[in-house]
Amino acid sequence: MQNNINGSEAINMALHDSMRLSKKVMTFGLGVTDPKGVFGTTLGLEQTFGSDRVFDTPTSENAMTGVGIGLAVAGFKPVMVHQRLDFFILALDQLINSAAKFHYMYGGAVNVPITIRLILGKGWGQGPTHSQNLINLFASIPGLKVVMPSNAKNAYQLLISAINDPNPVVYLEHRWVHSIKSDFDKKRLKPFEIGGIEAYGEGKELAIISMSYFTHEALIAKQELDKKNIKIKIIDLLSVKPLNEKLLINELKGIKKILILDLGFRYCSFASYLSNLIKDKLHICDIKIIDSGDLSEPTSYFLTKHYYVNHADIFRIAVKMLGLNRTVKTSTLTKRSHDVPNRDFLGPF
C-alpha cells in the first residue's frame, strides 16, 4: 500500500521498524519521551518498547554520548537524538576521539554502531547558536559517516541504513525536511547503501548539486524551469561521507555548467571539495557555489529574509548561468515565508 507521509512520520516509522526487528536498538536523548516527541519523530516509542530501550537523558551531552558509545561497543545499536546540533558540540571529544577512532585503533576488532541524529536548520529566529550546519567539520573526521536526508522516503531509508551500519553515522536532519511529504510504498523500498545519490532530470546544460532541504528548493526551481522548457539535472547528495565519486562523476558526464548548493559555511567547505573533484575529473570550470558564506545566521526576521537562499534565488541564478536572463523573467516567482516551514511549526522546538 502506498503512503503519503512527511519526514517526521518517516523517521518515526524507521525507528519503530528498527526497534521491532532488533532488541539491540535503543533510542535516547533530550526530549525523546516528551509529549511532542522531538518534532513527532519519537512518538509512541516508549509506550511500544518500554523505558529500558527508550528514555530521556540528563543535560550532559558529552557524558551521555560516552554512554552511547559504550553501549555500541557492547553490541547494542543506540540511536542518540539531539534537538539541536549546536548542543552536541559539547560531545565532540567523545565523537572524534572515541566513536570515530576505535575501529582504527583496535585493528578493526572493535565496531561502534551508533547513530547520532543532529537536528539543524533555519526557522523562528533560531539564530547563530541554534541553527548551524557543521557539515564541514563532521565530514573532515576519519571514521565517521555523514548522511543528510532530503525527503520522507530517503529519511526512512537512510535511518534504517545508519542503524544497521557497523560504523558511527552522523544523521544531519534539517527540521524543514520534517514537513516534506513523499509517496512511497515501504514494502517496495530497496535497502539504501550509504554513499549513494539520487538524480532528477536529464538536462545537459546545467546540473545543480544539492543536499538536505536545499534539494527541495532546487526541485521547485526545476519545476519552474521545466515550464519554460529549460531542462536541468538535480543531483541530491544523500551521503556526504562516504561519497560515491564514481557515481557522481558518471551523472555529471556531458554537463557544461554546475551549481553547487551547500548548507554549510564557506571556508574549508564540502562544496569546495566537490568543485575541485569535478574540475579534476571532468575539467568543468563553469562552477558556481551557493553557501552560507562566512556569516552565522541572524536571529532577526528582517535580517534572515536576506540571508536565506530559496527556490526563487536558485531559479534566478540558474537562468543567469544559462545566459537566459535577458529572455526569461526571473521575477515571476514569489518567496514564501522564509522563517516558518508550515503552519504547525510554532517554534522554537
* Distance (Å, whole) CA 231 – CA 206: 8
Domains contained in the chain, CATH given: 3-188 (3.40.50.970), 197-321 (3.40.50.920)
Catalytic residue among 46, 82, 130, 224: 130
Report whether 207 contacts 225 (CB < 8 A): no
For 92-145, how does the pLDDT look when each residue is reduced to its tens digit (9 = 90+)?
Answer: 999 999 999 999 999 999 999 999 999 998 877 788 888 889 999 999 999 999
pLDDT tens-digit readout, 194-226? 988 999 998 899 999 999 999 999 999 999 999
Residue 314 burial by Cβ neighbours in a 10 Å radius (0-12, 13-18, 19+):
buried
> Is 46 among the residues known to form the active site?
no
Summarised one tens digit per residue, pLDDT across range 78-97 is: 999 999 999 999 999 999 99
pLDDT tens digits along 252-303: 999 999 999 998 899 989 999 999 999 999 999 899 999 988 988 888 888 8
**Catalytic, out of 61, 217, 224, 297:** 61
Catalytic annotation on 306?
A: no
Positive or negative torsion for Cα 203, 208, 211, 216: negative
Residue written as grid cell 529566529: 125
